[in-house]
Amino acid sequence: EIVLTQSPGTLSLSPGERATLSCRASQSVSGNYLAWYQQKPGQAPRLLIYVASSRATGIPDRFSGSGSGTDFTLTISRLEPEDFAVYYCQQYGSSPRSFGQGTKLEIK
Amino acid sequence: EVQLLESGGGLVQPGGSLRLSCAASGFTFRSYAMSWVRQAQGKGLEWVSSISGSGTTTYNAESVKGRFTISRDNSKNTLYLQMNSLRAEDTAVYYCAKDRDIWGDAFDIWGQGTMVTVSS
C-alpha cells in the first residue's frame, strides 16, 4: 500500500497570501494519478485536482497542482476566505486507493 | 443536477449489521464505478470499497474484507453497502462517491454522508 504523507499538518496564513501544500508518497504514484480534495467542516470532500495537475470542473484557477513520481504540491495562489479548510491528497494509481492525513489551512 | 444521497446509517451494537444505501441521480449510473469512503470523527478519509459500473467487479479494503459487501442495482440507480460483524472502529461518517471517469479514478461527486455508530 502506498502511504501518503502531507505537510505541514497545519498552515496558518492570511487572505491574499500564497499557500503551498505538500504530499509525499512512499513509492512512485503510477501515472501520476494523484488527486487533491478540499473539505470544509460538516461537508463532504470536493475534488479540486486530478492526475496531479488537472483542475476539476468549476474549480477556480487560483488552485493548481504540480509534481510527479513521489512528490506533489497543491498551490493556492491568492487565498480567499472560503479557501480555509482541510486538504487531502489521494493516490489512485494502485490499489488500495489511499489518502494522506490532511493539511489544515487556517486563518492567521 | 448530479447528486448522491446516502441513507441507512444509525446506532448498532457491536457484532450487528447495517445496510447503507446511496441513491444516484443526474448521470448515467450504470456507466460509472462507485465507492464508499468513511471518515471517523476528527480523522482523515479512508477508502472502504468499490464496485464497477456493471457490478461484476468489487474491491474491499483489508480492514473490512469478509465483513462488508458492496453491491448496486442499476435499475434503481442505487449503491449499497452491507455491513456485518460491526466493530467500534467502524464508527464513522460513510460517504458514497462516484469515480470521475474510468475504474479506479478520482472521486468527482460525493454524497453528504450518513453516520454509523457502533456502540453498546
Full pLDDT tens readout for chain B, 120 residues: 999 999 999 999 999 999 999 999 999 999 999 999 999 999 999 999 999 999 999 999 999 999 999 999 999 999 999 999 999 999 999 999 999 987 889 999 999 999 999 999
Beta-carbon separation of B108 and A47 below 8 A: yes
Please tell me which of the candidates B45, B95, B104 has its beta carbon nearest to residue A88.
B45
What share of chain A has pLDDT > 90, as a percent? 99
* DSSP tag of A101: -
* Cis previous bond, A81, omega within 30: no
Point out the residue among B47, B107, B111 whose CB comes nearest to the CB of A98: B47
Three-class SS of chain B: CCEEEEECCEEECCCCCEEEEEEEECCCHHHCCEEEEEECCCCCEEEEEEECCCCCCEEECCCCCCCEEEEEECCCCEEEEEECCCCHHHCEEEEEEEECCCCCCCEEEECCCEEEEECC
Three cell numbers at B40?
Answer: 471517523
Q: How confident is the model at residue A20 (pLDDT cuts 50, 70, 90)?
A: very high
Residue B27 contacts A, CB cutoff 8 Å: no
Residue A28 near residue A70 (C-beta atoms within 8 A): yes
At B101 the pLDDT is 85
Other C-beta atoms lying within 10 Å of the C-beta of residue B86: 22
- Asked if residue A44 lies in contact with residue B95, where contact means CB atoms within 8 angstroms, the answer is yes
Instruction: Name the 3-class secondary structure at A46.
Output: strand
Tens digits of per-residue pLDDT, A21-62?
999 999 999 999 999 999 999 999 999 999 999 999 999 999
Chain B closest-CA separation from residue A73 CA (Å)? 17
Exposure of A81 by Cβ count < 10 A (0-12 exposed, 13-18 middle, 19+ buried)? exposed
Strands (E), chain A: 4-7, 10-13, 19-25, 34-39, 46-50, 54-55, 63-68, 71-76, 86-91, 98-99, 103-107
